[in-house]
Amino acid sequence: METNERPTIYQIRLKGHLDERWMRWFDGLIISQHRDGETFISGIVQDQAALHGILNRIRDLGMELISVQRFESTDETENE
């Protein structure tokens, strides 16, 4: 089965702050920790397999997933 998956921008919202020692697991993504105790992981994800890999890492860390938001790709994000 062929898919026409394109890199897509995602923002993943977590309850709690991600310990610095685990941040390298998400290399290439932007991690921002907010005062309200939430962490946002955002950036370009190549395909669904990569997204599932990120979500598996979050699960392995025992962090609570609040939301996953997908943003439509643009021609500019595809060229990065």
At 18-61, the pLDDT tens digits run 888 888 889 899 999 999 999 999 999 999 999 999 999 999 99
Please, are residues 10 and 51 in contact by the beta-carbon 8 Å criterion?
Answer: yes
Q: Is the pLDDT of residue 77 over 50?
A: no
- What are the strands of the beta sheet with 8-15, ordered from one edge? 30-33, 38-45, 8-15, 64-71
Domain spanning 8-78, CATH class: alpha beta
Q: What pLDDT does 11 receive?
A: 98
Q: What pLDDT does 27 receive?
A: 86
Q: Is the pLDDT of residue 76 over 60?
A: no
Q: What pLDDT does 21 receive?
A: 83
